[in-house]
Structure 1
Amino acid sequence: MGSQAIVTGASGFIGSSVARMLAHKGWTVHGIGSSHLAMEAQEQIGIKHWVQQDLTLASLQGLADKTGDPDIIIHCAGGSSVQASISNPYEDFARTANATLNVLEFMRRYSPASALVYPSSAAVYGQTSSLPIAESSTPKPFSPYGHHKRIAEILCESYSLQWQLSVSIVRLFSVYGAGLKKQLLWDACQKAEQGAYSFFGSGAEIRDWLHVEDASNLLILAAEYASPECVIINGGSGVGTSINEILKLVGSHFALVSAPTFSGKAREGDPDSYVADITKAQALGFIPSFSLSDGIRQYVEWFKKECML
């Protein structure tokens, strides 16, 4: 495998982690995304060339003209929030499906030898009646976010089959880690700091938590198995933990006296329970390295250092 990589959305939570890990492994990493990324930040995550533009054929070709055709593309750009997809489905579709189409068309026209890794989401599975969830489970998304991710997957499958592009899809479950300023852990830390520890749902909902460094390792590993068969791999730890347990763990780092309370009402678009069957990922050599307790402790330490005044 070569040494040139493009990471789309490299200024984001997962994209920046992937870029940093690729650079650490000796890759020359180039990034593209719509957000500003200061030179210092580029250096910190190992980006050699950064293009601040929307993901289009022209912007991708412009980057490749400067750097040469990539050996791998890890396409981390796209929508990242169920709630945002509900409030603005048009924008979420453009960020997820349209952007993925542009990456695939760039490969078809200009860089057919590149390998593509697409970080999808467990949201494509929708509500499931049995756990753990295998990749063979029929996708039944029920949020715009999940539908748009599935559409992006279908585009990947279509392009890989029709034009023999090498693609792999990783369906990520609940990715977390220092730097994530949204979703449950961020919300929990803010509420713990304020002493108002109340949440949606029942607390019995189950999630499969995967540290962002483990997720990044899996995405990079998946590039080795990209093929015209468009392999699909679950990205999780294989361990389910209830929301109540997670919140108690977070709260213990704030010395909370009261246990979390729950409204009993689920948020629109939120599934009941997700746990990944990671047999396929393990067969490729993937072993999650972060324990949940260590990962939560590190996240709370980061929150207290960076976010508490």
Structure 2
Amino acid sequence: MTASKLEQLRKMTTVVADTGDIEAVRRLKPVDCTTNPTLLFKAAETPAYAPLVEEAIAWGKKAGSGDKVVQAVCDRLAVTFGTELTKIVPGRVSTEVDADLSFDTQATLDKARAIIAAYKERGIEKERILIKIASTWEGLQAAKVLQAEGIDCNLTLLFALPQAVAAADAKAFLISPFVGRILDWHVKAGGGPYTAETDPGVVSVRSIYAYYKTYGIDTVVMGASFRNTGEIEALAGCDRLTIGPGLLDELAGATGDLARRLDAKAPGEAPAKLVLDEKAFRFAMNEDAMATEKLAEGIRGFVKDLRSLRKLVATRLG
């Protein structure tokens, strides 16, 4: 019997689950797991995870009141979910720095170090955790410092080559280019129809992959934010792919041959090498309407869900 497409994909790509749903992770058995405020908010509203939420709320009630306590409870909740995930996946768990700190390098550093310290208190070493940071200039500079301290980072909300190059310059452990959101922008702008081969998000990740492999960059490329299995199949062979439970189930139920599309030994034609200081980075981003708009939109979306999570916690704290 032919192996499922998910089984075939796992032979050429490290599969990561993009969810805060602990039961889904247990069922799908990914190597790594990523979370974000949106996923945590959904999980916090799920009855199955009530004990985890109750523990964080009880801790918060002992800590006092006010906005700082609410934020501390949210941080604790993120680490609590992350801790549970480390018991299931053999690899890394990504935990996100608050999106409202995306333009503050020092605050990002402080939050990242606090997250690592909180995991350490629970017996989880930093080698099991990736700190997720938005790919703003300020976030990239924070990642550079953290990587030098031995804290590995996942640069998220990444939409364009300049962000990928700056992440490589920061020696980031991993980047998460958002395939589906790139497609969304182009469709909204009147582009298409697109096939898996012409999908702008797929094309972008292939370009970044070729750039990294051609120029000997060690940073891991992990495609993210998929809209359909066609995008995933078109990136088979990428270092890692982080996929939601629904699409993982689709791949698990699909048969037929899955061809390798990305290969480090033959990465394809790479873009010209870029040298970026802050001015060059900001100008390059300004020239790319899609990347600029989707980065801003992504930060706003994560902040909205973060505020919803804080509101939920504040209500529960009374």
Q: Normalising by structure 1, what TM-score?
A: 0.34
Structure with the higher fraction of residues in helix conformation: 2
Structure with the higher fraction of residues in strand conformation: 1
Q: Normalising by structure 2, what TM-score?
A: 0.34
